[in-house]
C-alpha cells in the first residue's frame, strides 16, 4: 500500500512510503521510504489523502472525526456556537461495562436522544460485556449435569429505549461509539456511489489500455458520511484493554 508522511518538525512532505509488513498481534505497521527516519508526531496517511503543506484532509470526515470535533467547525458550521452540532465524549476510565454504556447514553439523552441507539465496540470489549452478563446470571432451575451461558447478541434498555451492542473489528481496542439510530440518522451523500461505469458510457465498464493490449476496470465514487444529530452521538474513550 502506498502512503505519505508529513513531518512533525516542519510543514513539508517527508516523502512517500510503502507498507512492508503488518503485525496484528504486536499492533505494528512497518513502512519504508526516503528521507529521514520517522519521528514521533509525524503524520502517516494514504497517498493523496491530505495536503502536504497544510495537512488539510482531501477525504470526507469519518464518524470518528465527526463525533470528536469539539472545537472549530464541522461541515462549515461552528461546533462552539451551536452545541447540538458538537459530538460528545465519555471517558470510561476502566473496563467496558453496562454502567459505562448507560453513562454514555445519558449524555446523549440529555441532548435529545429519545430513540434506539447502537454501540459499536471492539471484539475484546464485547467479550467483557458478555462475561459481565454471565457473571450476573442466576441459575434457578433444578441441578443439571450441563450448564450453558453466553450470548450471541446484547441489548440494554435505558430512557431512550433499546441500546444494541455490536462488536466490530475496525474499532480501536480502547474506544467505542454510541450512535443515535444509525440506520435513520446517518446517511451517505454525494454525486456517485461506488461504480465501474463511466459517465456517458453506462454500458461500458472496461477501458482499453493506451500503450498495451488489454483492458482495465476503474472504480470511482463521490460520497461522504452525513450525521444529522452529532450531539446525540458519543465517543467512548480510555477503555481498559
Phi, psi of 67 (to 5 degrees): -75, -30
What is the distance, to the nearest Å, from the Cα of residue 96 to the centroid of all Cα atoms in its chain? 17
How many Å apart are CA 91 and CA 93, to the nearest integer? 6
Residue 102: the pLDDT is 97
How many Å apart are CA 23 and CA 18, to the nearest integer? 15
Residue 33: the pLDDT is 76
Cα dihedral 52→53→58→61 (10° resolution) = 110
pLDDT-flagged residues of the chain (< 50): none
Residue 135: the pLDDT is 86
Residue 4: the pLDDT is 65
Cell reading at 111: 441532548
The string of pLDDT tens digits covering residues 66-94 is: 999 999 999 999 999 999 999 999 999 99
Residue 35: the pLDDT is 65
Cell reading at 64: 470518528
Residue 15: the pLDDT is 72
Number of H helices, E strands in the chain: 4, 16
Amino acid at each position: 500500500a502506498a502512503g505519505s508522511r508529513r513531518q512533525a518538525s516542519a510543514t513539508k512532505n517527508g516523502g512517500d512510503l510503502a507498507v512492508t509488513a503488518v503485525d496484528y498481534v504486536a499492533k505494528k505497521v512497518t513502512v519504508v521510504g526516503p528521507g529521514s527516519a520517522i519521528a514521533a508526531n509525524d503524520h502517516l496517511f494514504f497517498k493523496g489523502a491530505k495536503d502536504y503543506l497544510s495537512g488539510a484532509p482531501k477525504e470526507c470526515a469519518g464518524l470518528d472525526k465527526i463525533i470528536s470535533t469539539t472545537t472549530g467547525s464541522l461541515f462549515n458550521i461552528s461546533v462552539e456556537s451551536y452545541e447540538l452540532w458538537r459530538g460528545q465524549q465519555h471517558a470510561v476510565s476502566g473496563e467496558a461495562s453496562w454502567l459505562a454504556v448507560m453513562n454514555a447514553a445519558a449524555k446523549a439523552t440529555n441532548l435529545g436522544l429519545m430513540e434506539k441507539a447502537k454501540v459499536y465496540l471492539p471484539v475484546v470489549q464485547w467479550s467483557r460485556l458478555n462475561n459481565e452478563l454471565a457473571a450476573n446470571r442466576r441459575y434457578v432451575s433444578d441441578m443439571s449435569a450441563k450448564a450453558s451461558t453466553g450470548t450471541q447478541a446484547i441489548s440494554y434498555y435505558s430512557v431512550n429505549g433499546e441500546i444494541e451492542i455490536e462488536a466490530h473489528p475496525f474499532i480501536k481496542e480502547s474506544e467505542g461509539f454510541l450512535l443515535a439510530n444509525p440506520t435513520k440518522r446517518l446517511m451517505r451523500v454525494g454525486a456517485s456511489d461506488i461504480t465501474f461505469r463511466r459517465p456517458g458510457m453506462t454500458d461500458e465498464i472496461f477501458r482499453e489500455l493506451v500503450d498495451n493490449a488489454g483492458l482495465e476496470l476503474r472504480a470511482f465514487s463521490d460520497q461522504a458520511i452525513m450525521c444529522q444529530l452529532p450531539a446525540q452521538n458519543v465517543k467512548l474513550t480510555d477503555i481498559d484493554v
